[in-house]
Amino acid sequence: MAADRIVIFDTTLRDGEQAPGFSLRVSEKLQLARQLDALGVDIIEAGFPIASEADAEAVRLIATEVPRPVTAALARCRTDDIERAGESLKAAARSRIHTFIATSDLHLEKKLHITREQCLQAAISAVTQARGYTDDVQFSAEDATRTDLDFLCRVVESVITAGATTVNLPDTVGYSTPDEIYEFFRAILSRVPNADHAIFSAHCHDDLGLAVANTLAALRAGARQVECTINGIGERAGNASLEEIVMATKVRQDRLPFGTAVVTEQIFAASQMLTRLTGEAVQANKAIVGRNAFAHEAGIHQDGMLKDRRTYEIMRPEDVGVPATTLVLGKHSGRHAVHHRVQQLGLELERLELDRLYRRMVALADQQKTVSDAELVQMITDLRQTPEPGAPTPLGHKHGPGTEEVGYGHGV
């Protein structure tokens, strides 16, 4: 089955940057935009121009300096928002105005204090106005997944008629489950008569930890644009993670036959740049880009990795730009991993020396969790200078292939 091309709409610089602790200066946004360009994303949502002069300037600068991807600017369904967005995008080789309004009764009544009809008219007017600035207009129905389905279908049909070329249906508060998202997109696509005149987009939040799963479900249902961020940053628990979506489609083509233009080898560089610019670390066990994503400590895992990396890795670290797999030396490590690391350091040990080194390494790891290369070399120096009391003279045989691995750690 041929892979369907999906559009990667990166909102790291807009939705991601809105998260507490993640704000960026204009120069930093431009630096990250250039990395997103190298990464190969299709659309960079560069900011929300009406929010501040700095956001407007970031959109103007990125539109000028990073011409390949589409530069998108966010605007509420308000005249002044759209004017500011349109002005900010003047220099763009490829521009998109992304306009939005909440559609759920909860938001209409409690936040906006307007009726459904007022919401519908505001959406139509905004899309019509935005088309005066660009042919590429995206409409988002905020809180779409908690919106009355009949009303949402009316809104979607109307904005497409008014000129929206992309329709985004966000799970704004991360409330949905994958089966719901699938049924939701299928229903909209089947009930809206002019649905084939627009690309449908998924924007899922991670409040229940389901953002990526929901996004993939939306793709299976017919969405062909995904909105995501580097490292999954964003409001509250964050957005769907770009790296997880892209690598899921790459690794599981049998289940997710979708293709992207993302240069996956640039993923880790983008993650590291974002971490450096914001000062916000990625959790160690974060999929794809966390420091433990390609690290192994358990002896059973390390032994398998040394024999064939496919035993415990479903992708190669170099595929996402990570320099190499790491075999971490800790209390769960086995002798094979210690021997391998010693050889990497250009050293060779006899069998009895390796046994002594292994015992010392485990004892130290019990105290401090992991053992560095420098500490390993120092232990080798110490044990060679201090023979073990009562130990027989080494016979000179090596710890060779085929020796049974001894170590701890579970294989599951």
What is the pLDDT, as a whole number, of residue 2? 52
Measured CA to CA, the distance from residue 120 to residue 361 in angstroms comes to 67
Measured CA to CA, the distance from residue 268 to residue 270 in angstroms comes to 5
Structural contact between residues 264 and 320, judged by C-beta atoms closer than 8 angstroms: yes
Terminal Cα distance for the chain, rounded: 33
Measured CA to CA, the distance from residue 9 to residue 226 in angstroms comes to 6
Q: For the chain, state the CA radius of gyration.
A: 27
List C-alpha distances in Å: 313 to 188, 264, 296.
38, 16, 10
Alpha helix stretches (DSSP H) within 40-148? 53-65, 79-88, 105-107, 116-130
What is the pLDDT, as a whole number, of residue 354? 87
What is the pLDDT, as a whole number, of residue 79? 98
DSSP-based three-state secondary structure for 326: strand
Q: Give pLDDT tens digits for 360-394.
A: 888 888 888 888 878 888 888 888 887 666 555 44
What is the pLDDT, as a whole number, of residue 410? 41
Q: Half-sphere exposure of residue 279, counting CA atoms within 13 Å on the CB side?
A: 5
Residues ≥6 apart with Cβ < 8 Å to 359? none
What is the pLDDT, as a whole number, of residue 391? 53
Which residue positions in the chain have pLDDT lower than 70?
1-2, 296-299, 303, 305, 325-327, 387-412
Phi and psi, residue 265, nearest 5°: -65, -15
CA nearest to 378, candidates 363, 361, 362: 361
What's this model's pTM, rounded to 2 decimal places?
0.83
Measured CA to CA, the distance from residue 302 to residue 340 in angstroms comes to 10
Structural contact between residues 89 and 134, judged by C-beta atoms closer than 8 angstroms: yes
What is the pLDDT, as a whole number, of residue 343? 83
CA nearest to 170, candidates 223, 112, 117: 223
What is the pLDDT, as a whole number, of residue 179? 98
Give the H or E element holding residue 317: none
- The per-residue DSSP string of 19-30 comes to STT----HHHHH
Structural contact between residues 239 and 17, judged by C-beta atoms closer than 8 angstroms: no
Give the tokens for residue 248.
């899921």
Q: Give pLDDT tens digits for 173-207.
A: 999 999 999 999 999 999 999 999 999 999 999 99
Give the H or E element holding residue 179: helix 178-191
